[in-house]
Structure 1
Amino acid sequence: MTDSTRSRATDKRRRLTAAAARVLHEQGVERTTIADIAEAADVPAGNVYYYFKTKDDLVQAALGEHAANLTRLTDELDELPDPLDRLKALIDAWTARRDVAARYGCPTGTLAAELDKRANGGLDLEAAKVIRVLLAWVERQFRELDLPEPDGLALTLVAGYQGMSLLANALRDPGIMTREGARLTHWLDSLPASNP
């Protein structure tokens, strides 16, 4: 295989993975076909099977894409010197995607809920891993702030995000993301200051 051929293959796989993450988020697992993902990736449907043998393989790849997006975001937020500012910037990132959340919900949260209802399990646990990565990152911020029960605080913040995403989607109201994001930011500001 030449470098050019390998590069084209890598590009197709990357496009399929990104398309899977987007289309599965927009349509859900059950309504999405491999042909839908191929079309969104601008890859012939027959070529998909060269990269992904089953639809579940594409779902797994989509979860990997969500994890990679989360890692990129948290790496960027880690550039901020203050953990409280990192948490506020996380909320800002969530609310910046309010229109997407109102239309489709949280990419990982909605996928996790849908996968949990499937008869053949396993992928729901993979979705949970992505959510655990977010929880661990948020907990680390609270730990750096030297606040008590950082795991509980992390759960409260991530649950707040999941709740506002769910309600914004159910009610098709992006304003919920804005209002609840402001409420979460106010909650962060109300927490006791960390010990020097």
Structure 2
Amino acid sequence: MTNSVARGAGKRERLADAAAKVFHEQGVEKTTIADIARVAEVPVGNVYYYFKTKDQLVQAAIGAHARSLHEILPALEQVATPAERLRALVEGWVGQRDLAARFGCPSGTLATELDKRTDGLDREMAAVMGELLTWIEQQFAAMGRADARELAVALLASYQGISLLTNTFRDPDMMATEGLRLQRWIDSLA
């Protein structure tokens, strides 16, 4: 998803993408349906045709995160080696450092916010993040690492941690520095 919501997409998808964007920038609780409609460039009344409740928009935002992941992973699979794929993943994260400095990690911040609720949407977001964790684990396993799961958790945890710090201190250079360290770490494991 780019900085603005794609205009060519269907209204339902535009609304889902807009919900993901606005929830990331404002949080679920502070976001109104009118905010989402404005970003999606859809009349407010049309939102209710596709989504009856704000919780349905949260679920759609989770789906937008999943769609984004399903676009990124096949592109990464085109990279030659597992170590290079992991380095490319880190480069992608670092490429979003300005956004992280302003709002944190899109998936991580939503997962944290949903954890405070009791409606089960936190588990849906966990499933999306679990897909990424599994993919990272597969890359480490393809590198011949018996400790692939532990390494995958360490890599994803490092990213989530640096996203939090980058946002806390509003310092994108922190993520750039950590990205270089993570790439060296990946190289050392190959």
TM-score by length of 1: 0.90
Question: Could you tell me which of 169, 181, 184 is aligned with 1:183?
Answer: 181
CA displacement 1:21-71 (0-9 Å, x = unmatched)? 111111110000111001111111111111001101111111111111111
SS in 2 for 1:30: coil
Match of 1:127 in 2: 125
Q: Can you list the C-alpha shifts for 1:8-31, whole angstroms capped at 9, x where unaligned? A: xx7111211111111111111000
Q: Which stretches of structure 1, 4 residues or more, deviate above 6 A after TM superposition?
A: none
1:80-131 C-alpha deviation (Å, 9 max, x unpaired): 120000000000000000000110111110000011112x331111110111
Bigger Cα Rg = 1
2:164 to 166, 172, 196: 166
How far apart, CA to CA, are the structure 1 residues paired with 2:59 and 2:106? 13
Give the letter aligned to residue 82 of structure 2: P
Q: Give the 3-state SS of the residue equivalent to 2:10 in structure 1.
A: helix
Partner of 2:45: 46
Count of equivalent residues: 182
Following the alignment from structure 1 to structure 2, what is the Cα–Cα distance between the partners of residues 28 and 55? 12
2:82 counterpart residue number: 83
What residue is the counterpart of 1:4 in the other structure?
A: none
Runs of at least 5 residues in structure 2 that lack an aligned partner in the other structure: 1-8
Alignment of 1:9-48 (within 5 A): 11-48=10-47
Q: Distance in 1 between matches of 2:142 and 2:42?
A: 45
Residue of structure 2 in register with 1:55 after alignment: 54
Paired position in structure 2 for 1:5: none
Q: Secondary structure at the match of 1:81?
A: coil
Task: Report the AA paired with residue 81 of structure 1.
Answer: A
TM-score in terms of structure 2 length: 0.93
RMSD: 1.0
Tell me the secondary structure at the aligned position of residue 91 of structure 1. helix
2-side partners of 1:184 and 1:71: how far apart? 23
Question: For residue 131 of structure 1, what is the amino acid of its counterpart?
Answer: M
In the alignment, the residues of structure 2 paired with residue 176 and residue 67 of structure 1 have an alpha-carbon distance, to the nearest angstrom, of 27
